[in-house]
Amino acid sequence: MDTFFNHISLLEDFYWSYIGWTLIVASGIYLTYISNGLQFRAIANFKENIINIYSHANTKQDGIHPFKLYFASVGGMVGLGNIVTISTAVMIGGPGAIFWILIASFSGMLLKYSEIYLGVKYRVQNENGGFDGGPMYFLQKAFKPKCFAYGFAVLLCLYGVEISNFVIIVDRIEHSFELNRSLVIFVFLLVVIYSSIGGVSRLANICSVIMPFFMIGYIVFALYVISCNYQLLPNFFQVVITSAFTGSAPIGGFVGSTMVIAAYLGISKTVYSGDIGIGYDSIMQSETKIVDPKMQATLSIYALVTDAFICLLTTVMVGVTGAWYTLNDLQPSDIVAELLSNYIMHSDIFMTLLLFFAGYTTIIAYLAAGIKCATFMSPTYGKKLYFTYAILAFIIFCNVSQTHAIIVMSLLSGLLALLNICGILKLKHDIEF
């Protein structure tokens, strides 16, 4: 098993060092250029766009309310990736990774917009009165061979079983409450499967309830920790800018990083956290009752802004407190918990509950997308086979370290982004910016 994961780690490292991060940045800059900076115009016209979307949402069209899908989107993006995975970018890549996180977020906004626009544009109505859409549909428009669409569906089926989030939550619950690990896995599996059976509609309802409380609570605590260290912020941000292009010198237990390491870690973890170019969001947003693809795609920009803001809070908190070089011997899920223990009473229990709700919404969100892909490949047997695979994968990877699970998901996200972005660039003339 160690040999297997070493090979996976080498592939993941090679892909994001030489292909992934340049692909995200270059395609994002290109789409920004041909769209005349659409993401910046969307942010500037936030109020007007929200009012326009809301007025078009109150119709009797088939589909799900766009603002419920916003929370479903945020539920898939905002979670452990913003707390656990994104912190590893700074722990390994140094403070300079924060600069590349912002670059990836703004570049990714146009990729996110494009994939959702195409998902809604080329969606098809299903027998349940809803819609099916996403890269597996628009890739058939981009490329004649169906192997691209089916290849994407297979990869997203694998990616849809969010093993890293599942392992992290099981580890935290077992550690915090000293419960039997097998019991934790069994009960958590039941909760996840029940929530996923209801599809995108149930997912949207769950996320609409959970995500506002999670986001507000975490933002308040993160801002509190940062404000306690406000004197260090000017020097810290100076280090962020300089080390983004020069790398970081070794400090304490920190091994040091180069610009390439800071860039690829910052971008790869942001892609994973924000579902940039991965295709999940395109599948979810295709269920909207709004007919105009541009409106739903614009709403997705605001979802990624939310994700980027929470990523920024986590990384600044980890950076300004010095946790990025003093706590790098801990498990990824223990870093923020240990950091908060110096500021908040009972932080261990608080972080366990926080990670549970954050990871739970992400797990059921991606599982719902995986079910869509499995059904696309086999309408008759896809859903049953996929649930069987998901249960086995969750159980097997509970015997694997968090780091190994994160590496597997990072590699899959890179391959999905590669396929998806090729389709987006091929269909760029079909997108209205």
Which of 38-47, 123-132, 320-329, 347-356 is predicted most confidently?
38-47
pLDDT at 392 over 90: yes
Dump pLDDT digits (tens) for 242-268: 888 876 655 544 555 567 777 777 888
The kind and range of the H/E element at 99 are helix 96-121
Hey, how many other C-beta atoms are within 10 angstroms of the C-beta on 132? 19
Contact 58, 295 (CB under 8 A): no
Supply the DSSP string of 62-88, one letter for each residue. Answer: SSB-HHHHHHHHHHHHSSHIIIIIHHH
**Rounded mean pLDDT of 385-393?**
94
CB 266 within 8 A of CB 92: no
Start-to-end Cα distance in the chain: 47
3-class SS at 257? strand
pLDDT at 212: 78
Instruction: Name the pTM for this structure.
Output: 0.86
Q: Give pLDDT, residue 76.
A: 67
Residue 199 has pLDDT above 70, yes or no: no
Contact indicator for 410, 267 with CB cutoff of 8 Å:
no
Query: Are the CB atoms for 44 and 298 separated by under 8 Å?
Result: no
Geometric angle at alpha carbon 153, from 148 and 156, rounded to 5°: 125
Q: How confident is the model at residue 120 (pLDDT cuts 50, 70, 90)?
A: very high
Over range 102-117, report the average pLDDT: 92
Among the ranges given (58-67, 134-143, 227-236), the one the predictor scored with the smallest mean pLDDT: 58-67
Longest Cα–Cα distance in the chain: 61
Which sign does the torsion angle of CA 410, 268, 201, 359 carry?
positive
Beta carbons within 10 angstroms of residue 429's beta carbon: 7
> What pLDDT does 200 receive?
65
* Sequential DSSP letters for 359-391: HHHHHHHHHHHHHHHHHHH-TTTHHHHHHHHHH
